[in-house]
Homo-oligomer: A and B are copies of this chain.
Amino acid sequence: MRLDIAYEGTDFNGWARQPGQRTVQGELEKALETVLGGYGPPPRLVVAGRTDAGVHATGQVAHVDLTEAQVGALMRQRPPRSRDLAPGALAIRLNGIAGLKSDVVIARAGFAPEGFDARFSAAWRRYAYRIADAAASRDPLLRRHTVWYPAELDVDRMDSAARELVGLHDWAAYCRPRDGATTIRELQEFFWVREPDGVLVAHLRADAFCHSMVRALVGATVAVGERKLDPGRVVVLRDEAVRTNEFTVMPAAGLTLVGVGYPPDPELGARAELTRAKREPGLQ
């Protein structure tokens, strides 16, 4: 089954299940187990983008493998007041368990196409990062997914620096290292815009991001926007491929996983095999 998921990360300790912590995976797996009514083994979700504590998602994707008995249990359910058959009903039941006021929402649930793997079939991940700088209006209604920055930032400098970074490169300077994990990634898009309400938004897309890469890229271009770093310097740092203290990694609260892209259905299985062969645990 494929699940499309949105959550506000503020009150979650990240995506990944951890004993004694409230996490998105933990809450959803508990809800799934309730819906499946004790049939089969505990459901385990596989996710496209394993977000850190405090990071949000509007377009997260996960899958769960179910046994025949579990699918049967699901298909016999039809929630009250719904004309949907299962598995459409699954989203309604899960949201019912999570509660209408919850900070996690199942936008869609359905049988996944043959060969689909939420993590390994993914062709790209897209993130957005939101900052209200000194020049922007600071709307308290948006503060939970927008970071407030005390200085005024030059969006044109930030945008130019961001666009210079795009391409297939080694991102060691922008990654928190993980044992045996490659830092070579294709950054497919990176640009900054100032929205009509004054909020600065970075848009980033890559085949996959290594750990803390989005927040480091945002931090480097913010330093450019505050004139603490020359625009060309972000490329030099990238090509030196070592960690630096010339910029800071930005806080989690401004970051949202916006979407995940998959190839056409017939290519899903091949794509997953290819990714598994050349990648290692730890990509997000």
Complexed CA–CA distance, A116 and B251 (Å): 42
**B residues near A145, Cβ cutoff 8 Å:** 141
* Structural contact, B101 and A256, CB atoms closer than 8 A: no
Is A275 part of the contact surface with B, judged by Cβ < 8 Å?
Answer: no
List, in ascending order, chain B residues with CB within 8 A of A143's CB: 8, 101-103
Partner-contacting stretch, out of A26-34, A119-127, A132-140: A132-140
Verify if A237 is at the interface (C-beta below 8 Å from B): no
Q: Check: A272 CB closer than 8 A to any chain B CB.
A: no
Question: What chain B residues lie within 8 Å of A102 (beta carbons)?
Answer: 140, 143
| Complex CA–CA separation, A3 to B144 (angstroms) | 24
A264 and B43 CA atoms in complex are apart in Å by: 64
B100 and A140: CB pair below 8 A?
Answer: no
Task: Report chain B residues within 8 Å CB of A138.
Answer: 6, 95, 105, 107
Docked CA distance A138–B91 (Å): 12
Chain A contact residue count (CB 8 A cutoff): 25
Contact yes or no, A58 B141, CB < 8 A: yes
A150 within 8 A of partner (CB)? yes
Which residues between 75 and 98 of chain A lie within 8 Å of chain B, taking CB atoms?
Answer: 81, 95
Q: A122-162 vs B: 1/0 string, CB under 8 Å?
A: 00000000000000011111011100101000000000000
How many copies of this chain are found per oligomer?
A: 2
* Chain A positions 45 through 70: 1 when the CB is less than 8 Å from some CB of chain B, otherwise 0: 00000000000101000000000000
- Confirm or deny: A213 has a beta carbon within 8 angstroms of a beta carbon on chain B: no
Which residues of B lie under 8 Å from residue A101 when comparing CB positions? 143, 148
Q: Whole-angstrom distance between the alpha carbons of A100 and B151 in the complex? A: 12
Residues from chain B with Cβ under 8 Å of A7 in the complex: 140
| Most chain B CB inside 10 Å of its own CB: which residue of A100, A102, A141 | A141
Bound Cα distance A85, B150 (Å): 18
A104 contacts partner chain B, Cβ-Cβ < 8 Å:
yes
Q: Are A8 and B256 in contact (CB under 8 A)?
A: no
Q: Which of A151-187 contact B (CB under 8 A)?
A: none
Bound state CA distance, A8 and B146, in angstroms? 14
- In Å, the complex CA distance between A268 and B256 comes to 45
Query: Which residues from B are CB-within-8-Å of A6?
Result: 137-141
User: In the bound complex, how far is the Cα of B142 from the Cα of A105, in angstroms?
Assistant: 12
Most chain B CB inside 10 Å of its own CB: which residue of A6, A139, A140: A140
Q: Kindly list 7 other residue pairs between chains A and B, CB separation below 8 angstroms, not including A6-B141, A104-B140, A105-B140.
A: A95-B138, A100-B148, A102-B143, A103-B143, A105-B138, A105-B139, A141-B144
**Sorted from nearest, which 10 A-B pairs have the closest CB atoms?**
A8-B140, A100-B148, A103-B140, A105-B138, A141-B145, A105-B140, A6-B140, A8-B141, A7-B140, A56-B141
